[in-house]
Amino acid sequence: MTFILRRQVEFNHCDPAGIVFYPRYFEMISAVTERFFADGVGVSWAEMQQTGFGTPMGHIDTRFLAPSRLGDWLSFALEVREIGRSSVTVAIAGTCEAEARFDCTATMIHAHPSDAASAPWPDTLRRAMTRYAHQPSEA
């Protein structure tokens, strides 16, 4: 299963030419992962924070493939690639009407924000994330 989120490119995302300023993609990626945990996994970042945990970004690798412009509707497709003891690696593809705009691989860590110590995923979160695990296509 793939987690999908659609968002329209807004004025605040763009440079004076009306093209998405690349650091704004990282804000969009953060928004997609936040919605993934809230809507896909069933535990919002606010709920995690109340229990003393967070999911800081440990690594992100992004390729920008084509510009996005003010008013474009972007689809973000997130799939879980790997779930570790205290990390999860996801692949996110950003498209507009089937044209690839960017792709990224991001690893988030389940951690205590106060001391940055990682902690194992609770079984309920691990099971929920597993539903979005990438399923290789058969040749």
Residue ranges per structural domain of the chain: 3-130
Q: Phi-psi region for residue 115, left (φ > 0), alpha (ψ -120 to 50) or beta?
A: alpha
User: What's the confidence (pLDDT) of residue 138?
Assistant: 59
Q: Phi-psi region for residue 98, left (φ > 0), alpha (ψ -120 to 50) or beta?
A: left
User: What's the confidence (pLDDT) of residue 136?
Assistant: 67
Domain covering 3-130: architecture: Roll (3.10)
Is pLDDT at 14 greater than 90 in this prediction? yes
Q: What average pLDDT does this structure show over 79-95? A: 96
Mean predicted lDDT score pLDDT of the chain: 92
83: phi then psi, degrees, rounded to nearest 5: -115, 115
Predicted confidence band of residue 92 (pLDDT cuts 50, 70, 90): very high
Predicted confidence band of residue 137 (pLDDT cuts 50, 70, 90): low
Rounded alpha-carbon distances, angstroms, from residue 74 to 86, 95, 132: 30, 6, 20
User: What's the confidence (pLDDT) of residue 68?
Assistant: 97
Q: Which helix (H) or strand (E) is 26 found in, with range?
A: helix 22-35
User: What's the confidence (pLDDT) of residue 25?
Assistant: 94
Cβ partners under 8 Å of residue 71, min gap 6: 8, 9
Is pLDDT at 116 greater than 90 in this prediction? no
User: What's the confidence (pLDDT) of residue 129?
Assistant: 94
